[in-house]
Structure formats: C-alpha cells, structure tokens
Amino acid sequence: AQSVAQPEDQVNVAEGNPLTVKCTYSVSGNPYLFWYVQYPNRGLQFLLKYITGDNLVKGSYGFEAEFNKSQTSFHLKKPSALVSDSALYFCAVRGPQGSSASKIIFGSGTRLSIRP
C-alpha cells in the first residue's frame, strides 16, 4: 500500500528566506506526486505535480518541488518566502493508473509560518 510522510508538523521561516517542506513516499511502481495548499477556512488548492520527466517541477505561486527517486522524496521549495505563503501544506502520492494504489493518499500536513 502506498504511504506518504511529512516529518515536520510546522516549519517557521523568515520572510525573504528560502523554505523547504519535506515529504517522503512509498508506493509500488512509478509514483504520481502532488503538493496541495490549504489557506485558513479555504478549500484545498493544487500547487504542483510530478508524473514523469524532469525531476524539478515548477508550480503555482513560485513554488517548486524536486523528485528524488533514490531517496523517495518530493520536497517542496521556494527561493524567497512571503508572509502570504503561511498556510497548511499537504503532500500526496498516487500509484500508477489502473493499479490498486491509484487513489491519492495525503500526508499529515505541515503548517508553514512565515514571519515578517
């Protein structure tokens, strides 16, 4: 069965500094990996995905994520954090289409707090 882990409940970063939100996964076969963001009292928004191709994927709001197959990781990054990036971030993994693991499973979430 697939699983995804976000080892940090909270990440605190000063505005203007780079940020990293960590994610590791476990799935049989090639993974589909996703990052979502949830602002307070708002729905879940899609940020970016890795399906195949370049290991570095770029998404919304200046975020990017690096797929590392050997380390089974998909960390979310941004070169310069903004206060408005403060939110709850979820990593998610899905197994190959048509497989028994083809549903998306979410990590526990990491609360990102950017201080001015």
Partner 1 sequence: SAVISQKPSRDICQRGTSLTIQCQVDSQVTMMFWYRQQPGQSLTLIATANQGSEATYESGFVIDKFPISRPNLTFSTLTVSNMSPEDSSIYLCSIVDSHLYEQYFGPGTRLTVT
Residues that bind partner 1 (CB under 8 A): 32, 34, 36, 42-44, 46, 49, 51, 88, 90, 92, 94, 97, 103-109, 111
State the nearest-atom distance from the C-beta of 110 to partner 1, in Å.
10
State the nearest-atom distance from the C-beta of 80 to partner 1, in Å.
26
**Residue whose pair of structure tokens reads 């882990």 in the numeric block:** 5
Cβ(23)–Cβ(6) under 8 Å? yes
Kindly tell me which of 40 and 116 has the beta carbon lying closer to partner 1.
40
Structure tokens at 99: 């497989």
Kindly tell me which of 25 and 34 has the beta carbon lying closer to partner 1.
34
Rounded Cα distance between 91 and 114, Å, is 19
